[in-house]
Amino acid sequence: APALRIRDLRKTYDNGVQALKGVSLDVQPGDFYALLGPNGAGKSTLIGIVSSLVNKSAGEVSVSGIDLATRRDEAMRQIGLVPQEINFNLFEKPLDILVNYAGFYGVPRAQALVRAEEELRSAFLWDKAKVMSRTLSGGMKRRLMIARAMMTRPRLLILDEPTAGVDIEIRRGMWSTLREINAAGTTIILTTHYLEEAENLCRNLAIIDRGVIVEQGPMKALLAKL
Ligand code: ADP
Ligand code: ADP
């Protein structure tokens, strides 16, 4: 089954805005997939629906063959989400943030501690495990959010504009972190409005504009058209 399968997804917000007007896409296991589009295109709405934060108006979503509408909790266990805004407690330590997050998702404490060390090391944050997270740099905070999402060992990692507003150094560091995660077997989907980011990272992509997918396919084929 595809890592993510979306059919004719529609979303109309209460104020009448049609954010998604019938979106269909498949993301295969192991893929690195970008959803590229300008502000207001509907990217966050799509990610919000897939991660169960936003209710869809119509359509179907399944994660690794698990239907989101009928088997929500099971589908959610396949997903790691990295939101756009930094949303951890700045007065907690990175180690505690990771261990508590895993605990919330039912990972036993001893296992959570082992995983937290592993994830902090891969994020180059092990030496920061016990500092107050508010003292971390912007790039470190972003990497901590990725490490946190990986604590549940998701099959599918979803990132909403992971590098929006960060400088090129930090962006490059995050790109290499994401490439490593994908190389280790995790399917990745990210939203971005930087063509350069999609070009650097992804194998396949969809271009979305005003709630409609306007192009879809391998990055290479798309670049050849431009
Ligand atoms: P993107 O992530 O590509 O910038 P969004 O999904 O955030 O796009 O937004 C798509 C459209 O839906 C925009 O017109 C936006 O103003 C509108 N929108 C987003 N969230 C809401 C909301 N909670 N209520 C009403 N309209 C919204
Ligand atoms: P910031 O996120 O504030 O820019 P850095 O990206 O410089 O911080 O990361 C802090 C430390 O982690 C640095 O010493 C850097 O060498 C190391 N580091 C970060 N990303 C990588 C990477 N992809 N490969 C090797 N070392 C890295």
pLDDT digits (tens, 9 = 90+) for 183-193: 999 999 999 99
How remote is the CA of residue 95 from the centroid of ligand 1, in Å?
A: 34
CB of residue 66 inside a 6 A radius of ligand 2 = no
What tens digit of pLDDT does each residue of 40-91 get? 999 999 999 999 999 999 999 999 999 999 999 999 999 999 999 999 999 9
Q: Which residue has the higher pLDDT, 62 or 168?
A: 62
ipTM: 0.75
Residue among 10, 12, 15, 17 whose CB has most ligand 1 atoms within 8 A, to mutate: 17
pLDDT at position 65 is 97
pLDDT over 90 (residue 224): no
- Secondary structure of 184-207 as H, E, C letters: CCCEEEEEECCHHHHHHHCCEEEE
Confidence category of residue 159, pLDDT binned at 50, 70, 90: very high
Ligand 1 atom at minimal distance to the Cα of residue 193: 3
pLDDT at position 169 is 86
Tell me the sheet residues that pair with 61.
6
Average pLDDT, the chain: 95
Place of tokens 């990272």: 201
What's the rounded Cα separation, in Å, for the pair 89 and 84? 15
Which ligand gives the minimal distance to the CA of 20?
Answer: 1
The encoded tokens of residue 23 equal 């979106």
Residue among 12, 45, 57, 84 whose CB has most ligand 1 atoms within 8 A, to mutate: 45
Mean pLDDT of 8-33: 98
What tens digit of pLDDT does each residue of 49-62 get? 999 999 999 999 99
| High-pLDDT (> 70) share of the chain, % | 100
CB of residue 2 inside a 6 A radius of ligand 1 = no
Helix (H) or strand (E) holding 163: none
How remote is the CA of residue 45 from the centroid of ligand 2, in Å?
A: 31
CB of residue 144 inside a 6 A radius of ligand 2 = no
pLDDT at position 170 is 86
pLDDT over 80 (residue 226): no
Which ligand gives the minimal distance to the CA of 53?
Answer: 1
pLDDT over 90 (residue 106): yes
Q: Rounded to two decimals, what is the model's pTM?
A: 0.89
Protein residue with its CA nearest to atom 5 in ligand 1: 42
Q: Which residue has the higher pLDDT, 50 or 223?
A: 50
pLDDT over 80 (residue 221): yes
Confidence category of residue 164, pLDDT binned at 50, 70, 90: confident
What's the rounded Cα separation, in Å, for the pair 108 and 12? 40
DSSP string, the chain: --SEEEEEEEEE-TTS-EEEEEEEEEE-TT-EEEEE--TTSSHHHHHHHHTTSS--SEEEEEETTEETTTSHHHHHTTEEEE-SS--S-TTS-HHHHHHHHHHHTT--HHHHHHHHHHHHHHTT-GGGTTS-GGGS-HHHHHHHHHHHHHTT--SEEEEESTTTT--HHHHHHHHHHHHHHHHTT-EEEEEES-HHHHHHH-SEEEEEETTEEEEEEEHHHHHHH-
- Pairing type for strands 4-12 and 18-27 reads antiparallel
